[in-house]
Amino acid sequence: MSWSDYEYSTASGQPVRLYEFIRGGTRYYRYTNADRAVTAGSQTWEPIAISDGGIASGTDDDDMTVTLPADNPVAELYDGVPPSRAVRLKIHELHYGDADVEVKTRWVGTLTNRQRSDAGVAKLFAVSLAATFGRTGVRLTWGRGCPYALYDHNCRLKSADYAVALTVTATNGDGITVNIPAGVPEGYFSGGYIEFTADGVTETRGARVHSGNAINLFGGSTGLTVGQAVTAYPGCDLTAETCDAKFGNILNFGGINHLPSVNPWQIIKVF
């Protein structure tokens, strides 16, 4: 029987939901609301107590709420510092017993938050892929400071050229202590970021302040341990002086360094 035959059958259809969470494009968590494991293609979906708020068509509601055990690995990702990269959610559906194992994708979106509703139960909130298309675009503005993000396509610097391999020697909650190589100046990593691997996924954390061998991090040292390898990248304060002296990238500087301080639209009374 085809998918349509099962779907519109009076009694033969046995719809089963498949929930696929994708973290960093490399780590997958697959669950089903069936009472047993489901194999589709080469993947196995683990049976757990999972459900969703339903999928409506023809409405403006782009949100999705998924309920699952609070000790589920996906729910625990949002204990403390959330993942630095978006966790994608795909909801598929198939009919149990379908010999062709025809899977239909019903919903695609991104997790935004988690809430513990009852004891042992967590709710994951997600927004659909279509909803992200409605975001307001970022406008390029004129100013003395550079409007580009460090290492982006406008800045044109390659982050790999400035990567510094470090090892965590201590953690203090607010940040980490590392083995800064000789010759690295004070504040070199301020405004930059570090990368490290957690559960097979590359995580990113912003560097607030670099002083001596200590790097204060946005999000603190959660998930980092002594002896762990991290990669640090220097930061930029978006001024022409730093762009030139620190990176030698003044030709790609996006700010207008000599922008007048007088607003041309301001009404000035001469008399």
pLDDT digits (tens, 9 = 90+) for 130-147: 777 777 777 788 889 999
Query: Tens of pLDDT along 167-185?
Result: 999 999 999 999 999 999 9
* Least confident segment among 93-97, 134-138, 217-221: 134-138
The strand pairing partners of 39, in sequence order, are: 44
Q: How far is CA 186 from CA 180, 234, 235, 260, in A?
A: 10, 11, 12, 32
CATH topology of domain 3-131: Thrombin, subunit H (2.40.10)
Residue 261: per-residue pLDDT: 80
Residue 263 confidence (pLDDT): 76
φ/ψ of 156, rounded to 5, equals 75, 0
* Percent share of the chain, pLDDT over 70: 90
Q: What per-residue confidence (pLDDT) applies to 116? A: 85
Domains 3-131 and 159-252 share a fold: yes
Instruction: Identify the CATH number of the domain defined by range 159-252.
Output: 2.40.10.170
Indicate the range of 49-63, 97-111, 147-161, 178-192 predicted with least confidence. Answer: 49-63
Residue with token string 């000790």:
71
* Of residues 11 and 207, more confidently modeled: 207
pLDDT interval class at 72 (50, 70, 90): very high
Provide DSSP, 170-218. Answer: EE-SSEEEE-PPTTPPTTTTTT-EEEEEETTEEEEEEEEEEETTEEEET
Give me the residue spans of the domains in the chain.
3-131, 159-252
| pLDDT surpasses 90 at 122 | yes
On average, the pLDDT of the chain sits at: 89
| pLDDT value for 11 | 59
Half-sphere exposure of 2 (CA within 13 A, CB side): 3
Look at residue 7 and tell me whether its pLDDT is greater than 90: no
Banded model confidence at residue 264, pLDDT cuts 50, 70, 90: confident
Say which amino acid occupies 129: L
Residues 6+ apart with CB under 8 A from 11: none
For residue 60, pLDDT over 60 is answered with no
Q: So what's the pLDDT on residue 80?
A: 84
Q: Is the CB of residue 33 less than 8 Å from the CB of residue 68?
A: no
Q: Which residue has the higher pLDDT, 79 or 3?
A: 79
